[in-house]
Structure 1
């Protein structure tokens, strides 16, 4: 009889043939192992009611629900198509609606203050997120051979979502901070602190970076530093395609959201309908009650 571990391994090999990234396979494996532990009776014995109970028990945010559900739906679709089960019990998992939220960039003043107060280990992470637009997972997986010299200057060769590479020009500011952090001769740029081999865990970059921002009294997350890079890049270039390449977005529709913070026409339209400085609707004087 095929065990859950053997089934999961076979499914992951299938994902390799589909070209899915190492990170995607790692995440999917974790979700399937958790589901198998919850079911107890084996993955192939799951019923639609079992899957519905699993879904109802998820307490994570909507984006994580979508990720978890994708792992489970993909597994059972594969198991059904390969003859392991007669029907797909996960076909009708209810999913939250995907909402496109506008970027919420950290302010330049807050970013500069956070960098000034950051310990040496965290400072280059803030710089890479805020001034090169890297995701936390991309910071964690940055390799020394991904910091390259080009004809136009130093650049970052970043391995992004779906194992897609993109080249990001480095400003002197970013380059100086990376050098000050002490670049290794080869391998991972940011190592684990527990002595074990490998790069710093993605969760550590996220958690420690966010904790530092909170300690500085800044209500922002590491991802909002990346938002700052995207909105600033669009404000400077006014070129959606350029910003899409810099951010590593698969769809220009995602990049277009960053244009909302640089809509000069909207600013002009709102300014044109405000009351005059001398009219009855003039701005109130600070400290004076307006009746």
Structure 2
């Protein structure tokens, strides 16, 4: 047992984990010993079956304290979540079980409209990516910094994985969605759509399917992720990189291209009924506008 531990000093343990030149930052934190004790009590109350030593947790906490922001981070850190992540990174069985029960089980609801088989694949990749060490590199969950909820952080990683899987798996192309699903999502509870004759509805659905089929893969993926899987602009930006406005423009351009293809599909079949053509195009356009409005604000 270390000398610091003998004096029951959590501050001492934290200092041991930081370079000497950074000790002044700790000394500037008012009530540090009590703050660390509260963090540990909170963590152990929430995860009573996980047994992590003070030294192990405080060493992990020290690794997440950026220079110049020690006081700020210590005051806002999600101590219980950081404790669980640290325990998981060591492979502690009860922590891994708690991670499954309290974190992973909530992830499917955050993935949008994915098939059960794809959700299961996302979860499996997520487990491997977060919980499995690679050579001398610790599990990725060790990089969680505790400055936001662990569930949110894991959800972002899961969304990226879902995007990777959906983007490369042609079985999930938008054209594979049932015609009823296409129509329902483009015109939910729309009285104008409800008034369409059955033959007009079918024509609309067929035209949409053909139009989507000829879209380039990137545009098809963007529309699929947003319209069918419910990915927000923030989630798309995390997946594709760049700025939020830049990704929004790409989604808007994909929408325009889709509408152009829909017009090309409908025009030859409705050349004698211009009013019907414009009505169907207006319906598709208005529903897409409403759906995209949240992205483009």
TM-score (norm 1): 0.23
Higher strand share: 1
Larger Rg: 2
Q: Which has the higher contact order (CA 8 A, sep 6+)?
A: 1
Higher helix share: 2
